[in-house]
Structures are given as structure tokens and as C-alpha cells.
Amino acid sequence: MTVTVIHSVELFDGHKARSGAVVVFDSDSGKITSVSTGSSSDQYPQGATIIDGTGHTLLPGLIESHMHCYNLHLTPGSDESTILTSPLKSGITTVCDMHSDLASVQKWRKAIAEEVAQARQAGGTVTLSDLKTSLYGATIEGGWPKPIVLAGHPSEEAIEMVKQWPSLTPETAADYVKNHKANGANYIKLMQENCCSLAIPTNSIPVASLELQTAVVNAAHENGLPCVGHALSSDMTEIVLKAGADGLTHTFVDQPLPQNILDLYKKTGAFVIPTLTVLASLTAELQDWRERFADLAHKKGVVDDATKQNMVEVLGMKDPAAKLEYAIDTVAKLKKEGIDIVAGTDAVAGLKGTGVGPSLWMELELYTEKCGFTVTEALNSATAVTAKRFGFTDRGEVAEGKRADLVLVKGNVTERLQNLWEGEGIVGVWKEGLKAS
């Protein structure tokens, strides 16, 4: 058993901060064996690797709750391994895919499992974040996200992929969910979009009905799976909430928060993944933010040249009335009303304005700088609250018995969030107790 002890560290355990903590974990079980304060060195396990955490903060591995693991937006010859290596370098030990094909998911999960097994056997390191997934979302014939995936000059691969998407009806919802669960889906995703927030004519694509979405949600819950839903407008959000979904995978940009939507959030207890990062790309706002985080990530070796360039470009495909301000104000008001905010970006390799990994840094800073979050509230949205709302009971906290998914950062992150990416930033990442390279 290879035991590691990190002592004298500022600890954010997923909920709150405490000073002078001692965290012990081992790479064989991949678990945290103890969390305490003030232990003396003569109490440390014999033969353990000892790390002095003075002047550092230890966090749970961050969870990116909205990304996509497919490679269809990448240019030919691009390094697709960055889809899971960049987030791990960013302190993200778990990514949540929100609409990808089974083959891509299986490929990544095989690579993840083989890497962990080899690292345990040979005492090596890991490079890939863990992967959770919805597999394909609950699509309908011709519906969302066909317009975005086939925008511009789609590849033959993208065209063929769209042909494989589900074409659900209320009658087929139960089988869809059952098959997804059998294939390893961790949650189910709805698609509810009429394009009214986009530079695409409203109702120019088929729109899912409340009857269908309710059938999918009920089937998901009957199978013990959370169910979340895409919506970029308030009217589509209303349908997802009325269907009984556990959360929204975006907030909306078409108007300020209406009272009926706030009431539905409070009535249903649903959470929201704001994805302000991708919404800023959609509305072509916050260019200085994109440039700053792209430059930071590139200088730290987190992203390559192509990803840096992609991060500073924009989707720029909003309806003229849509504003990022509406989304920011909605998140601030929902948070103030006690609605759970779960951190996620909708980053996709090759999707303009995003970079899987460092986009979450930008997302968290938007919460603290624009939405009224404290630093610990922002960190909580990417750790314990995400794990709780998705039912990931083994991670998201630094506590005895949890996965040893840990991030060590120079400086006090709970006092200054930017320490996570500025200066020395992240100096160590462990996934299941295994050091990341």
C-alpha cells in the first residue's frame, strides 16, 4: 500500500474551510483514510510519502458538470486526448458528458480503466479525468441539437452521427432509458429547444412536447437515474421544470427571470447548471475574459495552440434580444433564493469560446465576480453540491472513505479564488489516490 500524507494544509472539504488539516490517503484503495487536524509526525503511517502543505490549499477534485466528450468539432489531426487530459491538468477529476455516442464513451472509459490499472500495478501516474455520461440525449426527429452540430460545413462523420440519434416518442421513452442505463448512463438528458434565443428562426425545428419530457423523466426516476434538461429560453425552461426534471443544464438568455420560473424552481427543488461561459460565447460578450483564461491556460501547458485559439473565438449566434446579463442576473437571483447552482460550462473540444478544463476556471470566477457568490460557495458548486445533486456519493468531498480525488494549490484558494489558476496555481492533482502527471 502506497500511503500519502498531506499535513499543515488549508483544507476546503467541499463545504467549508479549515486550517492545519492532515489528510491521509492510499493509492491501492484510492480512498481517503483519515482527515484530521494537528496530528504529529510520529502518528503518520510508516513508509508514507509526506507532503508539507504549509502555504497551500487542498480541495476535492473539481467536477465539470456539463461538457461533451466527442471529437467531432476538432480539426483533422488534432490531439483528441486533450478532451480528458486538459481537465485533469485544470484540477477537474470528473467530467460529466451531456450528449455523446456510446462508442466515444466506451473508448474513453476503457482508456481510463486501463490507465488506472497500469498506474496501480507499476506505480505510475494518470493523465485522464474520470467520465460520467448521459450518452445520447432524449432527442426527437430533426430536433435539437441538430442545428448546432450540423452548422457551417459539417463533416460526413457528424452527418452520420446525427442519423444515429434517438427519435423518441412517449411510447418509446421507457425503453430508451432502460437501454441507456444498461449501457452505463449515469443520468438522462432532455433536449428542449425552440431556438427563440438563437439566430435561428423560432420553431424552425421540431420541439419536444411536455408529454414526451414527462415520460422520459418518469422513466429515468423509475430506473434510479437523475434527469436534467437543456433549455436556452424561459418558455422551454418551464416545460423542463413542469416535466419534473432534477435540473437544467443551462440558464436562459432571452429575458429576465420571470416569477413563474422562480416559483417552479422553488416548487420542484431543481438545480441549474448556468454554463455562463458558453452563453458568453453565444452572445459574443466578455471577450477580454476569454482571452485572459486562454492565455493563462496556454502558458501553464494546460491547452495547446489550437485550443487557445478556439477559446478566444465566439459562437456569436444569439437572437438580437438575447443578453448574457439576463443569465447572470437569473443565476444571482436563483442562488439568493436557495436554488442549487452546479458549476458547468458546456465546453466541447473545438466548440468556439470554450476549452474543456480551463473554461471551468472562468465559470467559477463569473460566479464570484458577477453573481454574488463567495469563494467557498463557488467551490462548493464544483464539488460537494454537484456530487450530491447527481448522486455521486463517492466524491466531491474530502472526507474519510471518499475517493482520493484531490487538488493541491499554492496559496489560500478559499480567500482568493484566482490562486487556483494564477501564480504557481495547481501544484498537485490525485485521482483515486494516483498522482496525475
pLDDT surpasses 80 at 143: yes
pLDDT of amino acid 399: 98
pLDDT surpasses 70 at 330: yes
pLDDT surpasses 80 at 76: no
pLDDT of amino acid 155: 84
Residue-range domain boundaries for the chain: 1-60+397-437, 62-394
Give percent of the chain above pLDDT 90: 91
Instruction: Round the average pLDDT of the chain to a whole number and report it.
Output: 96
How is domain 1-60+397-437 classified at the architecture level of CATH? Answer: Roll (2.30)
**Grid coordinates representing 221?**
426516476
Q: Are the C-beta atoms of residues 311 and 354 closer than 8 Å to each other?
A: yes
pLDDT surpasses 90 at 417: yes
Average pLDDT over residues 105-134: 97
Question: Directed axis angle between helix 234-242 and helix 210-222, to 10°?
Answer: 40
pLDDT surpasses 80 at 81: yes
Please provide residue 233's backbone torsions phi and psi, each rounded to the nearest 5 degrees: -135, 160
pLDDT of amino acid 1: 61
CA distance 325 to 230: 19
Gyration radius of the chain's alpha carbons: 21
Q: Which residue has the cell 443551462?
A: 250
First to last CA, the chain: 20
Average pLDDT over residues 337-341: 98
pLDDT digits (tens, 9 = 90+) for 151-207: 777 888 888 889 999 999 999 999 999 999 999 999 999 999 999 999 999 999 999
pLDDT surpasses 90 at 119: yes
More confident residue, 323 or 155: 323
CA 341 to chain centre: 12
Peptide bond into 145 cis (omega under 30): yes
pLDDT of amino acid 43: 80
pLDDT surpasses 70 at 297: yes
How is domain 62-394 classified at the architecture level of CATH? Answer: Alpha-Beta Barrel (3.20)
Average pLDDT over residues 382-390: 98
pLDDT band at 29 (very low <50, low <70, confident <90, very high): very high
